Amino acid sequence: MDLIDLPANGKISPFQKFPNALEEVFREGWTNNADVLSQLYTGTPALKTDFTRTGKRTYQGAINDGINSLTRYYINNFTDGYYHDCLDIATLKLLPSSYLKPRGVLTPIKLCFIGLLVINYLMRSMLSGYLMPNDDSYSIY
């Protein structure tokens, strides 16, 4: 497509960079595609997208990867039943005559959200004095 100039020897390296504008568009498209596929497959965005976009690993990217990894762990261990059921149906391990275990009212994900809400409430109440001090503490006199 003549998007890049040929080197003097006429051979193109597979690692040759595109012109800057095209390189940015390519990296952005590649990363967006990775995020979409990863979201469909794992339920979270792709890992190490900061490196794919910029060519550098960042502190914020490492934090995002940690959050995504923890989210994947939770999804795979507690909420992935629907996907496993779909695979079982596709491989004929789950049939219309199969017995399904009834679920209780409090599923693991509901218990987790309740726990997070309780922890959030307790942390806010304990830290409210530190995060939002009284107006008296700032008085000069």
HSE, CB side, 13 Å, CA atoms: give it for residue 36: 6
Per-residue pLDDT, 140: 53
Residue 8 lies in a domain: no
Residue 1 lies in a domain: no
Residue 10 lies in a domain: no
Per-residue pLDDT, 121: 86
Residue 45 lies in a domain: yes
Reported pTM? 0.51
Q: Name which residue leads in pLDDT, 51 or 95.
A: 51
Domains held by the chain: number: 1
Per-residue pLDDT, 6: 65
Q: Name which residue leads in pLDDT, 67 or 82.
A: 67
Domain around 29: 20-138
- In our burial notation (b when 16+ CB lie closer than 10 A, e otherwise), range 102-136 reads eeeeeeeeeeeeeeeeeeeeeeeeeeeeeeeeeee
Residue 2 lies in a domain: no
Per-residue pLDDT, 136: 55
